[in-house]
Amino acid sequence: MQVPVFRRIAAEIAARIAAGEPPPGERIMSTRQIMAEYGVAMATATKVITHLREEGLVRAQPGVGTVVAGDTRPTGIGPDRDLVVRTAITIADAEGLPGLSMRRLAGELGIPTMSVYRHVADKEELVLLMMDKVMAANPPPPRLDPARDGWRACVEALARLQWSMYRRHTWLAQAVSFTRPLLAPNAMAHTEWTMRALEGHGLDHNTQFRAAVTVANYVRGTAVNLEDEAQAEQETGLTDTEWMDTQQQRFADALATGKLPLMARFLASDDRELTLDLLLDYGLQRLLDGLETQLSPRAGL
């Protein structure tokens, strides 16, 4: 995925600051200097300064300009990259990706913000490493073999493994993209596993890949609701069931119009339970049913 120009420039300036050039309290390049050195427009140069400020690397000082913020000198040995990534995962698990910033991470590690940049170039690389670490801890089911257990058992097992990951790390679904994917080797291993399960069943390599991504995208698409669900519960103090109980009058008013007879019948039934787990299971089975129709006869193992 192509990194925006302003991010590349910001990362380069951040690296200079990390090396002590310029030191804390000294001015950094102005927007006009950035324009001249990198050949970019004023809007891009402004984005560079804004990004550095949002990351807590620089601050505006009246009468002086934009200067390096705080003490960027290393304190002691400092954390290694693995600890940085693990700490970032812990923060994201508790507060979501919006709660994770370089400044927040540095505070948790007890180091200056700039020290984080000795381990990662920017937040995008940090999220990539976080995602890959989670995937590495959850490799495709090692005890299953497509030749012995059948393609469907293998694909379903992987989908359920991914669902369990999203449940434990609700931010993960927000980080995964199928249109602008972050190239995480351990995430790619999940795709390879599904393609291998479908190998030899009459699909060309393009269809194999699309099938693998479609299943993964279905699980991820259902999982994006998990973080919203957790955030809503945190903000309201109500579980989904408790919140639904508070909406009974609104449901009654809507159904009283007589325009929603099938919805009324469903809501009046005793087995109307609807959870994300049930939605995941129902949709996954239908998706696998549909995929089976594309496979050669011997694929129905």
Split at pLDDT 50, 70, 90, the class of 248 is confident
Instruction: Find out whether 167 and 113 touch, Cβ atoms under 8 Å.
Output: no
- Full-model pTM: 0.68
- Residues of the chain within CATH 1.10.10.60 domain(s) are 81-120
pLDDT digits (tens, 9 = 90+) for 16-60: 887 777 888 888 888 888 998 899 999 999 999 988 888 778 887
Q: Closest Cα to residue 120, out of 47, 6, 15, 23? A: 15
Q: Is the peptide bond before 62 cis (omega within 30 degrees of 0)?
A: no
Q: What is the mean pLDDT of residues 118-143?
A: 90
The domain at 5-68 falls in which architecture?
A: Orthogonal Bundle (1.10)
CATH class of the domain defined by 146-237+270-299: mainly alpha
**What is the rounded CA–CA span in Å between residue 59 and residue 61?**
6
Is the pLDDT score of 280 beyond 90?
A: yes
- Residues of the chain within CATH 1.10.357.10 domain(s) are 146-237+270-299
pLDDT digits (tens, 9 = 90+) for 145-181: 888 999 999 999 999 999 999 999 999 998 887 766 6
Specify the pLDDT at position 296.
82
Split at pLDDT 50, 70, 90, the class of 75 is very low
pLDDT digits (tens, 9 = 90+) for 77-100: 567 899 999 999 999 998 888 889
Is the pLDDT score of 278 beyond 50?
A: yes
3-state secondary structure of 27: strand
Neighbours of 126 (CB within 10 A): 23
CATH superfamily for 81-120 is Homeodomain-like (1.10.10.60)
Specify the pLDDT at position 12.
86
Mean pLDDT, rounded, of the chain: 84
**E strand or H helix at 217, and its extent?**
helix 205-236
Token output for 163 = 């669902």
- Residues of the chain within CATH 1.10.10.10 domain(s) are 5-68
Q: Is residue 55 exposed (0-12), middle (13-18) or buried (19+ Cβ within 10 Å)?
A: buried
